[in-house]
Structure 1
Amino acid sequence: MSAPARTFTVRHVQLLRALFAAAAAVMITFSPDHSAAVGLSVFSGFVLTSALVMILAAWLVFPAGQRWPSIVLALLGFAAGMTAGVPMWRTEDMFFIVLIAWAATTGFVELVVGLRARRAGDDTARDSITVGAIGLLLAVVLIAIPAGFVQPYAIEGAGDYVLTGIILGVGMFGGYAAVIAVFLGIAGLTPKHTRAVDDAADHASPATVDHGGDR
């Protein structure tokens, strides 16, 4: 007897994550205010909703023994989202601290999960490796932005402006969200055979016994 088809799959997880990332990218892109308060507010909503998706995935997609990555990513998302959600903590320093810590830890987890999945022959391994690498890249880019960075500049006919570290940081987060949205959207719409998950589900179902020829 084969295991019943799952109504919530890895593809659905990827598409939901892409949807929330796209929403964050749009809010950052079309907001004239790239302050720490706005950046952390959008970030908080993004990681909390993404964490809810990972919790659902842990129980509806992955079998026992393969749920720990989703649970770890969800816990990291809840911790970062709740921290960023406190209005009085939405400072420029907190923006960089929270986003660097979140991007580095979740990126590392995604990368490890992807490498393990590749050894198991799971076709979704590349997706996890890529998302993890992008997360680690975001952490490196944010670390590279100098503290207290201020760069005045002028646009002829438009006036004088000032580019600051927080504007760069919030913009980098928006760019990260846009890249993740496009990548996971494409990944979610591309049919894949998740061999590791399917094999575990098959092993959990009763096997058909062949008793040989006629008696």
Structure 2
Amino acid sequence: MTTPPAERAFDLRHLQLARALFAALAAAMITFSPDHSAVLGLIVFSGFALATGLAWAASAWIVFSRGERAVPALMAAVSLVAGLIASVGPWRTTGMFFGLVITWAVVSGVIELVGALRDRKAGRTAGVRDGVLIGILGIVLGVVLLLTPMQYALDYSITGAGSFTLTGITIAVGLFGGYAAVIAVFLAIAGFSPRRTEPVPAVPSEEAAS
């Protein structure tokens, strides 16, 4: 007779909630800031990516088993590298925001999507649906930013408020904020949702008899 493994102090739920918190903070900072410049966008993205990368790195050792660490390790590396690049002050330009966030969104989205699909193929269910959804959203963010004209500028005025200019970087930073808000909601729902019990592999009759 075998003893069931002890329940982990930290599991996938904690990773999802940590990611939701960091995404919600990023969304709030962008939403409530009147400045949607490349500098502000990269400052927020840097903090978001570094915090998320650290959460992935920690989870690779305390949440996932040895055979499941490839995806969280890759996600940690991609996010940490992107966050470090975004933290360099002189590099915080419009071109850097577009290039860095597009690259991060597509690469991390593909990694998370492929990892979730591989888990589903292997018969694992925990976090698969959320991994597929968040992975697709990351790829969509990258594609939408790629289609946003970087040099776009539209002058407009509001009676009683003055004249304004809508630029490509304003749209791009807003899109990143919207993405962060959406994944914060989905990850929070996933983190607080009841867990379904993973199927336990059947024990061969010979081992059961012994």
1:54 aligns with one of 53, 56, 60: 56
Gaps of 5+ in 1: 204-208
Instruction: Give, in angstroms, the shift of residue 156 of structure 1.
Output: 2.1
- In structure 2, the partner of 1:87 is 89
Kindly indicate whether residue 202 of structure 2 is the aligned counterpart of residue 169 of structure 1: no
Instruction: Give, in angstroms, the shift of residue 147 of structure 1.
Output: 2.5
Instruction: Give, in angstroms, the shift of residue 56 of structure 1.
Output: 1.1
The separation in 1 between residues aligned to 2:25 and 2:88, in whole angstroms, is 21
Q: Please give the residue correspondences for 1:38-49 in structure 2 after superposition, counting only pairs within 5 Å.
A: 38-49=40-51
- In structure 2, the partner of 1:181 is 184
The separation in 2 between residues aligned to 1:130 and 1:185, in whole angstroms, is 13
1:154 aligns with one of 154, 157, 162: 157
What amino acid is aligned across from residue 65 of structure 2 in structure 1?
A: P
The separation in 2 between residues aligned to 1:194 and 1:124, in whole angstroms, is 12
The separation in 1 between residues aligned to 2:104 and 2:197, in whole angstroms, is 27
Judge conservation of contact 2:94–2:150 (CA < 8 Å) in 1: no
Deviations 1:182-215 (A, max 9, x none): 010001000223738x87xxx9xxxxx6446xxx
Kindly indicate whether residue 120 of structure 2 is the aligned counterpart of residue 127 of structure 1: no
Please tell me the root mean square deviation across aligned C-alpha atoms, in Å: 1.8
The separation in 2 between residues aligned to 1:117 and 1:127, in whole angstroms, is 12
The separation in 1 between residues aligned to 2:139 and 2:112, in whole angstroms, is 10
Query: Any idea what SS the aligned residue of 1:160 has?
Result: strand
The normalised TM-score by structure 2 is 0.92
Q: Following superposition, which runs of at least 4 residues in structure 1 exceed 2 angstroms of deviation?
A: 192-196, 209-212
- In structure 2, the partner of 1:206 is none
1:13 aligns with one of 9, 12, 15: 15
The separation in 1 between residues aligned to 2:194 and 2:161, in whole angstroms, is 48
Deviates more, 1:47-56 or 1:114-123: 114-123
The normalised TM-score by structure 1 is 0.90
Judge conservation of contact 1:51–1:74 (CA < 8 Å) in 2: yes
What amino acid is aligned across from residue 141 of structure 1 in structure 2?
A: V
Q: Please give the residue correspondences for 1:100-119 in structure 2 after superposition, counting only pairs within 5 Å.
A: 100-119=102-121
Judge conservation of contact 1:124–1:192 (CA < 8 Å) in 2: no
- In structure 1, the partner of 2:145 is 142
Judge conservation of contact 1:36–1:95 (CA < 8 Å) in 2: yes
What amino acid is aligned across from residue 127 of structure 2 in structure 1?
A: T
Kindly indicate whether residue 6 of structure 2 is the aligned counterpart of residue 23 of structure 1: no
Query: Any idea what SS the aligned residue of 2:67 has?
Result: coil
Deviations 1:35-81 (A, max 9, x none): 11110000000010011110111001111111000000000001100
The separation in 1 between residues aligned to 2:130 and 2:197, in whole angstroms, is 12
